[in-house]
Amino acid sequence: MNDFSILIGGKAGFGIDKSGAVIGGLLNRLGLAVYIYRDYPSIIRGGHTFSIIRASKERIASHRNKADFILALNQDTFNLHKDRLKESSVIIYDSDSVKLEGLSDKVRSIGVPIAKIIKEEGAGEIMRNSCIIGAFVKAAGIKWELLEDIFRKEFTKEIQLNLNSGRRGYDEAKELTKIEAVSQESLPLVSGNQAVALGLVKAGLNTYISYPMTPTSPILHYLAEIADDFGLKVIHPESEIGVILMALGFSYMGKKVAMGTSGGGFCLMTEGLSFSGMSELPIVIVMGQRPGPSTGLPTYSTQTELHFVLSAGQGEFCRFIVAPGDTEEAYFWSAQALNLSWKYQIPSIILTDKNLGEGIFNFDINSVPDIKEEAPLLWDRKSPYKRYLNTENGVSPLAFVPEKETIIKVNSYEHDESGITTEEPVLSALMLEKRLRKEKHLQEELEKFNTVKTYGNKDCQIALLCWGSNKGVCVEAAQGLGLKVIQPLVLSPFPEKQFQEALKGVKKLICVENNATGQLSRLLKISGFNVNEQILKYDGRPFSVDELEERIRGMVK
């Protein structure tokens, strides 16, 4: 089997997320590339949750509609996903609670009395997943010893009960196919959120502050786990307003700080963002997009906050905005966001979403360009300190409290070079021009980075345009259809020169986005570029490869 998918489903509280990680780790150990998509409602228990684990000999970053294996822990999983079954598929199910009514005779099935086994083993309800994974391993022709090793590494509690439950499931099943090991290097499995966190740490992160909000909450949890290893301060304040004001305080003291939120939390941070712009205090915000308005679909995904972050905060000030499309880009550009924020003393925003942040991908550190922590411009102590010294590139030397030899004054009011409040018209205009001057120099520096990438058939006159998490599905669909892909990574300041170069030879540009209004298309229009067609999806779910291919075919006939 060169490319196949496993769907495991049940209700919230059945450990579906952990099951996906175990199966993904198992397949990764066999040398296969893995991508995991998670789908779950905004409730702690009940409802329906599932994960799709796709494996291939080639690296992948998207899912397909059809499943080669369905592991059904409850009736909803069968009812909701039976249309994903192919004639060659296998369904493994809890025979104590699932009825396969309407199942095609050609689909192979294995019933496992999971409720009975769990009761006999004295195991907890959540160990139903260990039982059905054991049955899958047997059906897929994978040796028990490999699963046993994975269980011992993945589970920290009640290991023996999990092993017993898994072995019972294994013994109840029969081998129906064989997933062979692949002789290639196994790359580690990393989520987008973990990659963002590690990139920030690589660039010298000192403090991370966040009020938990899907889909960036895992960054808070992950950094809290590794805080002692890297000497980090990880703080959970009482609100998003508290988050950004605390971050500004840490920045004032010279501490490299980042914070995580989503659209609703970012709404509360906008005044603090504007404060950062005026006071020139560097901060980094990880903005995980999810469907709105208001609460919207809190555990699903979207690309609706591009124009929000472009214009958030009153007044005019320079900001850096980047939208990585995979784990390597999330790692690299999170580090650069922190570096550039401190180099130019501006706010940086990393745009992610649930599909990238909570998706799990292979991560190849060797493909990431070298990252170095960059030191900010510091006061040389040779002249009287002026916090807002008017310089050629708009960047003023920094000093941090407690500094015995000077006063360090920052101000959210318009101010002079020393930070003293002013309303004088000539000086006010001068200081605004100083702050805005940074953007020209930032844009020039970004020319040394690959801010617009191309993939696929680079000679094709038809190109897919994508940003953020749609990179993976667009690249795969384009490879199948012989098209070109253009992916802008930096969205502010927009890399017009590199984008123009990427457009050479393209006569038809099709923009693929997870929103209803074509936000990247609108941004391009502002920059003088036109999109010919749009493929939009806005139900909170990502494009599958099959779905996107079908919609593209309708436009390129």
How does pLDDT run across 522-541, given as a tens digit for each residue? 999 999 999 999 999 999 99
Are residues 114 and 256 both part of a single domain? no
Are residues 337 and 472 both part of a single domain? no
- Least confident range of 4-8, 421-425, 489-493, 553-557: 553-557
Judge contact between 248 and 283, C-beta under 8 A: yes
CATH number at residue 206: 3.40.50.970
Please tell me the chain's helix, strand, coil percentages from 3-state DSSP, rounded to the nearest 5.
40, 20, 40
pLDDT band at 46 (very low <50, low <70, confident <90, very high): confident
End position of a domain, from candidates 422, 449, 476: 449
pLDDT band at 405 (very low <50, low <70, confident <90, very high): confident
Query: Could you give the CA distance from residue 166 to residue 137 in angstroms, rounded to a whole number?
Result: 9
Q: What is the CA radius of gyration of the chain?
A: 26
| Residue whose pair of structure tokens reads 């609706």 in the numeric block | 304
- Domain hosting residue 406, numbered range: 377-449
Are residues 230 and 313 both part of a single domain? yes
Does residue 154 fall inside a structural domain?
yes
Are residues 103 and 147 both part of a single domain? yes
Beta strands 360-362 and 189-191: pairing type? antiparallel
- Least confident range of 41-55, 168-182, 338-352: 41-55
Does residue 411 fall inside a structural domain?
yes
Are residues 328 and 385 both part of a single domain? no
Query: Could you give the CA distance from residue 468 to residue 322 in angstroms, rounded to a whole number?
Result: 9
End position of a domain, from candidates 429, 449, 469: 449
Q: How many domains does the chain have?
A: 4
What is the arithmetic mean of pLDDT over 386-408?
Answer: 94
3-state secondary structure string, 256-283? CEEEEEEHHHHHHHHHHHHHHHHHCCCE
Q: What integer pLDDT is reported at residue 156 of this predicted model? A: 82
End position of a domain, from candidates 343, 367, 391: 367
What is the arithmetic mean of pLDDT over 20-34?
Answer: 96
pLDDT band at 155 (very low <50, low <70, confident <90, very high): confident
Q: Is the peptide bond preceding residue 282 cis, with omega within 30 degrees of 0?
A: no
Neighbour-count burial of 190, counting CB atoms closer than 10 A to its CB (0-12 exposed, 13-18 middle, 19+ buried): buried
Strand partners, 110: 92
Cα 302 to chain centroid distance, Å, stands at 11
Are residues 240 and 252 both part of a single domain? yes
Query: Could you give the CA distance from residue 396 to residue 413 in angstroms, rounded to a whole number?
Result: 17
Are residues 166 and 61 both part of a single domain? yes
What is the arithmetic mean of pLDDT over 81-86?
Answer: 96
Are residues 296 and 437 both part of a single domain? no
Residue among 338, 414, 413 nearest 376 (CA): 338
| pTM across the whole model | 0.96
Which tens digit of pLDDT belongs to each residue from 373-382? 999 999 999 9
